[in-house]
Structure 1
Amino acid sequence: MLRQLAAVPAKLFSGAFRQQYGAICFRFINDGPGIEILVITSRESARWVIPKGWPMKGKKPFEAAAIEAWEEAGVRGAVKKKPVGRYTYLKDLDDGDVAPCIVDLFQVEVIEISNDFKEHGQRILEWVSPDEAARRVREVELKSLLVEFEVRPRNKRNPR
């Protein structure tokens, strides 16, 4: 990681960060308090990552994160509209260049899992504990967010 950072100092200090939106997809274990987090492999390097992608025209950030979760992992669910955290990383671009990115993360409580999605067969998907998810990903800030991840409760509508 430090070697990658050293190669792009001008970009890092020019404020040229690119925005992305990601999803921390989780499910409860046996309807209890414990959770599992979905990790997927990247298509190019087969590294463990979470679903994420670029902003989408006409979509709010949380909507873009939910779409990425569906396209990359075949999951849908209840998405929180406010980010639960953010992390930075260096994205290898198709032209061989590297772009520093900031990823805002949105909580997605998975309700539906499908085998019929855009990138099916291009990635490996696994449900793991938050600690195991943190061990698998490379980005230090993301590791910290996964270990400390706490489910934000559902909004309660005027109980009467």
Structure 2
Amino acid sequence: MSDTAGGKQAGRKSGTRRRQVAALPWRADPVAGLQVLLVSSRETRRWVIPKGWPMKGKLDHQAAAQEAYEEAGLDGRIVDTPVGDYPYLKRLKSGAARPVTVDVYPMEVTGEHATWPEKGQRTLRWMSPVEAALAVQEPELRDLIARFAQVELPAEERPAPTLAPTPVRVAFDRLRRRVTALWGRR
């Protein structure tokens, strides 16, 4: 594990698929055993791991650690090579979807900040590896978490993933929240 060495900076694009980097935050709790931290996405509120675009001047694993701080207030030791990757569709502000591949770097959490840049915008939850794997939407991320934690997910406990909300649903939900906020102010 490394905080500063190794990793890759090049290869942000692979064909037409863009690449993001993510931290897989974990800790070994004396009572609960291995735990994985998931964060909610800001728009759809689904469970994800902290992720973002590669950053100029940072190696990919360093950018993943930065995302873990910004989205969840975490410090830790991050591995400088990815444990795997997974694909997903990134919803753009325009409503279009772009295919993205996410490189995942395990991060042993050594500290949690009381405040961080996106505090209040996301929900954080420590979960067992099985709970975390079953909570995420992307099947490949589900399998990656299970492989990392060396746990088996029985076929009957692997429900089909639910589809992400459509751009129309996201826009409608935003509009509903705004109308509700304005209505409540009168």
| Structure 1 match to 2:21 | 21
Give SS of 1:149's match: helix
Deviations 1:121-143 (A, max 9, x none): 00000000111001110001000
CA RMSD of aligned residues (A): 1.6
When the two structures are superposed, what TM-score results if normalisation uses the length of structure 2?
0.71
Aligned residues: 137
Give the deviation of 1:95 after TM superposition: 1.3
Q: Does 1:147 align with 2:149?
A: no
| Structure 2 match to 1:53 | 52
Structure-1 separation of matches of 2:106 and 2:119: 22
Structure-2 separation of matches of 1:107 and 1:39: 13
Structure that is richer in helix per residue: 2
Conservation of the 8 A alpha-carbon contact between 2:24 and 2:36 = yes
| Structure 2 match to 1:35 | 34
Structure-2 separation of matches of 1:66 and 1:31: 26
Structure-1 separation of matches of 2:122 and 2:149: 26
Structure ranking higher on relative contact order (CA contacts 8 Å, 6+ apart): 1
Range with greater deviation from structure 2 (120-129 or 14-23):
14-23
Q: Does 1:64 align with 2:63?
A: yes
Give the deviation of 1:148 after TM superposition: 1.5
| Structure 1 match to 2:135 | 136
Name segments (4+ residues, structure 1) moved above 2 Å: none
Give the deviation of 1:31 after TM superposition: 7.7
Equivalent AA in structure 2 for residue 73 of structure 1: A
Gaps of 5+ in 2: 1-13, 151-186
| Structure 2 match to 1:7 | none
| Structure 1 match to 2:171 | none
Q: Does 1:73 align with 2:72?
A: yes
Q: Which of structures 1 and 2 has the bigger CA Rg?
A: 2
